[in-house]
Chains A and B, each alone.
Chain A
Amino acid sequence: MIPGFPEAQPVAGLIGGLMIGLAAAIMLLGLGRIAGVSGLAARATGLATSGAPRAVAVAFIVGLPLGALVVAFLSNDVPARFPAPGFLIVGGLIVGFGTRLGSGCTSGHGVCGVSRLSRRSIVATTLFISSGFVTVALMRLAGAL
């Protein structure tokens, strides 16, 4: 617990982050590719014409919910609070379009690209976190939170 930040879970966050980084390292050193979820999801569903072999993309994407399920079984509880469906639909549409236009999301740019010190990824990550800050601030202002 961090004083002043009652909701923070620094230890679980750090351990989960190490797991995510190790997963991305397996993809990089094992298969020679970036573990970018938006690109692999587009590839797995046939919405991208180039990228990882289709079977690799499908295996990674199928693995995501399976791994989450293992944690849920072991810990008995993975809390999740979802916004109203309207927010999910609008947010999902913009996320899908934006990640394809910008060639990546939190995993590809944020984790893989920033750790590679890629200028493109550092710019993209700075922009999407900043626009996230502004969006949520505007939602708070509009009373939509």
Chain B
Amino acid sequence: MRIILALLSGALFGAGLAFSGMADPMRVRAFLDLFGVWDPTLAFVMGGAMIPMALAWAIQRRIERPLADTAFTLPDTRGIDGKLALGAILFGIGWGIGGLCPGPAIASLSLAPGDVAPFVLAMLGGMAIHRIIIRS
């Protein structure tokens, strides 16, 4: 049940990314390009995603546990620290350079595997570097 729900969630997420045009790195970069031909589509995608999720959080606060598991496992970190800020700033830089964030990059593996592979491999490399650094 959990595997099926996770697969369904991933597939619907990937379908939404492809349908909304977010699988096109140049469209994403055009959202970030305030001094070019600005493309606000990404803001509509974010806004659209907020609607079901705002409802979902309202429901989450009223139920004891999720449908297919024994408890909610949600981030409980509160403070805003340097790691959060530096990580987010770096992510935005990479997002602007490549026009891709992790979701569209992985979703594109079926649409344009050859084009997106360098990004996905480098992204996994960046994650591996992070893991090595936090361990040492």
Interface residues of A, Cβ cutoff 8 Å to B: 2, 5-10, 12-35, 37-38, 41-42, 45, 47-48, 52-53, 55-57, 59-72, 75, 78-83, 85, 87-103, 105-107, 109-116, 118-120, 123-125, 127-137, 139-140, 145
Which DSSP category, helix, strand, loop or mixed, fits chain B's interface?
helix
Once the chains bind, are B21 and A13 in contact (CB under 8 Å)?
Answer: yes
Q: How large is the interface on B (under 10, 10 to 19, 20 to 34, 35 or more residues)?
A: 35 or more
Which of A5, A12, A59 contacts B3, CB < 8 Å? A59
Q: Do the beta carbons of A83 and B131 come within 8 Å of each other?
A: no
Chain B residues with CB under 8 Å of A93's CB are: 94, 122-123, 125-126, 129
Contact of B21 among A16, A21, A48, A110 (CB under 8 A): A16
A99 to B90 alpha-carbon distance, docked (Å): 8
| Residues on A with beta carbons closer than 8 Å to the beta carbon of B35 | 137, 140
- Interface of B toward A, CB cutoff 8 Å: 2-27, 29-30, 32-57, 59-60, 63, 65-69, 71-75, 77-80, 83-103, 105-112, 115-116, 118-131
Contact of B100 among A15, A21, A85, A88 (CB under 8 A): A88
